[in-house]
C-alpha cells in the first residue's frame, strides 16, 4: 500500500473550520487506500504570539536576530503551537470515524542537532511510527519541531514544517510528499504582478531551490534541498480545494530534471525586495580588503549575497557594493563603520530602495543568449542594472525597487513564459 505525506501550513489550519476542511482532504486520501502521515503547522498567528512572549521574557538584546536569541527555552515555548494543531486534527479525524493519533517531534522521534531555533534533522528512526501506518492509523505529526539527543525540544526555524514533511517522506519511503499551501502550485512568476503567469506542471529540484532562495515563497529552501538529496517527489498544491479536486496531477510536481519531458530554457522569474545595497567608497586597492570586510560580517552572522567591486576614479582606490538582508542592513553598516580605521575607506552608503530580479532555468546550462535576452529586455524598458550575479541556472540583477513590476513583466514576456 502506498504511503503519502500531506503537509498543511498555518493558514490552512487557522481555525476549527479550516481544520475540518483539512480533515476532509486527508480523509479522501485515506479512503483512496493510502497510508497517510499528515504534517501540520501551528494555527496562523499562534507562532507569532509565542515568539512575542519569548521576546518579552528572554530578549536580553531585542536587536538580536531571531536565530541569535533562540535557545532551548525559546524552542520549548514555540513548539507548543504545532502540538495544539496536531491534537485537534487527530480528534477531528477520529470524529469522522478514522483511526488517527497525534505525534510530537519527540514521539516519532524526529532527532535533530542542538542548534536551537534552526535545528537540522539528523535522523528519523520511525520504525514504530511506520507500524502504526501499516496498522491503518492516520499519523498527524506536529511539524517544525524535533528533539535533541539530550532530550530537549528543538525547532527547525521558519518554514520548518515543510522540512519535517519532506524528511518524514524520505524516512517512511512515501511515494510523494504533498505540500498544501495558499497557492495552487509554482508559477512562472508571482501572479499578483503578472496576470499572465502560468502554473508549472513540473519543476526541477535545482530550479525550485533557486526560486525559493530568490524570493518565491512557495517552499522553504531547506525542504527543497532535502527533497533533492533524498529524491522525494514533492507536489505543491492549494489547500483551498475540495476533496478529490486535487486528483489528476494538479499542482506542481517538484522532481528530478530527468523526469521533466517538456524542456524550457527559463522556467520562472523571481524577485525579492528584502535586500539592501551597501556601498563602500575609496577602498584601498590591495589584497585582503575583501576578506577583512566579509570576515567581520560573517563573524556577526550577516549573510552577504551579491558583491561587485569597481575601480574608483582616483588611482589605487576601489569602490565595493554588496547586498545583505534588509533586517541586517543597519547592523552591517555599523560593523563596517566600526572597522573603518582597520580597513580604510572614505565613505559608506546604504540603499534599501532596491529589488533583486532573477530568471531561473536549468536550460541555461546548454543555451547561450539567456543573459543577452535579459539585459536587452531590461534596457528596452529603461531599467538600469546596479549589480549582477549569476549561477549555472540563474541570473540575478539588482535594480531600483520602483522598476520591480516593470522588470518582472518585461522578463516574463521576453522568455515567452506567458505563452500556453
Interacting residues with a second copy (CB under 8 A): 16, 19, 50, 53-54, 56-58, 60, 71-77, 79-81, 83-84, 86-92, 94-95, 101-102, 104, 106-107, 151-153
Q: Which is nearer to a second copy, 47 or 404 (CB)?
A: 47
Query: Measured from the CB of residue 50, what is the shortest distance to a second copy in angstroms?
Result: 7
**Measured in whole angstroms, how far is the alpha carbon of residue 53 from the centre of its chain?**
25
How many whole angstroms separate alpha carbon 336 and alpha carbon 293? 7
Q: All 3 cell numbers of residue 314? A: 582616483
SS3 318: strand
Query: Measured from the CB of residue 212, what is the shortest distance to a second copy in angstroms?
Result: 30
Cβ partners under 8 Å of residue 338, min gap 6 = none
Q: Which is nearer to a second copy, 116 or 264 (CB)?
A: 116
**Measured in whole angstroms, how far is the alpha carbon of residue 398 from the centre of its chain?**
20
Query: Measured from the CB of residue 153, what is the shortest distance to a second copy in angstroms?
Result: 7
Helices (H), 127-276: 127-134, 160-171, 205-213, 221-230
Query: Measured from the CB of residue 22, what is the shortest distance to a second copy in angstroms?
Result: 11
Peptide bond into 228 cis (omega under 30): no
Q: Give 311's strand partners.
A: 318
Query: Measured from the CB of residue 287, what is the shortest distance to a second copy in angstroms?
Result: 44
Q: Which is nearer to a second copy, 106 or 415 (CB)?
A: 106
What's the start-to-end Cα distance of the chain, in Å? 37
Query: Measured from the CB of residue 173, what is the shortest distance to a second copy in angstroms?
Result: 23
Residue of 321, 279, 328, 323 whose CA lies nearest to 301: 328
SS3 137: coil
Amino acid at each position: 500500500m502506498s504511503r503519502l505525506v500531506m503537509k498543511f501550513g498555518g493558514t490552512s489550519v487557522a481555525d476549527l473550520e479550516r481544520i475540518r476542511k483539512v480533515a476532509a482532504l486527508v480523509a479522501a486520501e485515506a479512503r483512496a487506500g493510502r497510508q497517510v502521515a499528515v504534517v501540520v503547522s501551528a494555527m496562523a498567528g499562534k507562532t507569532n504570539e509565542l515568539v512575542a512572549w519569548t521576546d518579552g521574557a528572554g530578549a536580553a538584546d531585542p536587536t538580536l536576530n531571531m536565530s541569535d536569541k533562540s535557545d532551548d527555552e525559546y524552542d520549548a515555548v514555540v513548539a507548543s503551537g504545532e502540538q495544539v494543531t496536531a491534537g485537534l486534527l487527530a480528534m477531528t479525524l477520529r470524529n469522522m470515524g478514522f483511526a488517527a493519533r497525534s505525534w510530537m517531534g519527540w514521539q516519532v522521534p524526529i532527532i535533530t542537532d542542538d542548534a536551537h531555533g534552526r535545528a537540522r534533522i539528523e535522523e528519523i528512526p520511525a520504525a514504530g511510527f511506520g507500524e502504526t501506518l501499516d496498522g491503518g492509523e492516520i499519523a498527524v505529526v506536529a511539524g517544525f519541531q524535533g528533539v535533541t539527543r539530550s532530550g530537549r525540544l528543538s525547532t527547525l526555524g521558519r518554514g520548518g514544517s515543510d522540512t519535517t514533511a519532506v524528511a518524514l517522506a524520505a524516512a517512511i519511503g512515501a511515494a510523494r510528499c504533498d505540500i498544501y499551501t495558499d497557492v495552487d502550485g509554482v508559477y512562472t512568476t508571482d501572479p499578483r504582478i503578472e496576470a499572465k503567469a502560468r502554473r508549472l506542471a513540473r519543476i526541477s529540484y535545482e530550479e525550485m531551490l533557486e526560486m525559493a532562495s530568490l524570493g518565491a515563497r512557495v517552499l522553504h529552501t531547506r525542504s527543497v534541498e532535502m527533497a533533492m538529496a533524498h529524491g522525494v517527489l514533492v507536489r505543491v498544491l492549494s489547500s483551498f480545494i475540495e476533496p478529490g479536486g486535487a486528483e489528476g496531477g494538479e499542482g506542481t510536481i517538484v522532481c528530478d530534471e530527468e523526469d521533466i519531458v517538456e524542456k524550457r530554457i527559463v522556467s520562472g522569474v523571481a524577485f525579492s525586495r528584502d535586500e539592501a545595497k551597501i556601498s563602500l567608497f575609496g577602498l584601498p586597492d590591495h589584497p585582503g580588503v575583501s576578506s577583512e570586510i566579509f570576515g567581520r560580517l560573517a563573524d556577526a552572522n550577516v549573510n552577504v549575497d551579491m558583491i561587485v567591486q569597481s575601480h574608483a576614479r582616483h588611482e589605487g582606490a576601489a569602490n565595493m557594493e554588496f547586498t545583505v538582508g534588509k533586517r541586517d542592513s543597519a547592523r552591517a553598516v555599523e560593523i563596517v563603520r566600526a572597522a573603518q580605521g582597520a580597513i580604510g575607506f572614505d565613505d559608506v552608503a546604504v540603499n534599501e530602495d532596491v529589488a533583486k530580479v532573477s530568471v531561473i532555468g536549468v536550460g541555461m546550462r546548454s543555451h547561450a543568449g539567456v543573459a543577452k535576452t535579459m539585459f536587452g529586455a531590461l534596457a528596452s524598458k529603461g531599467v538600469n542594472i546596479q549589480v549582477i550575479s549569476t549561477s549555472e541556472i540563474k541570473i540575478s540583477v539588482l535594480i531600483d525597487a520602483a522598476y520591480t513590476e516593470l522588470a518582472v513583466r518585461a522578463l516574463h514576456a521576453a522568455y515567452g513564459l506567458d505563452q500556453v
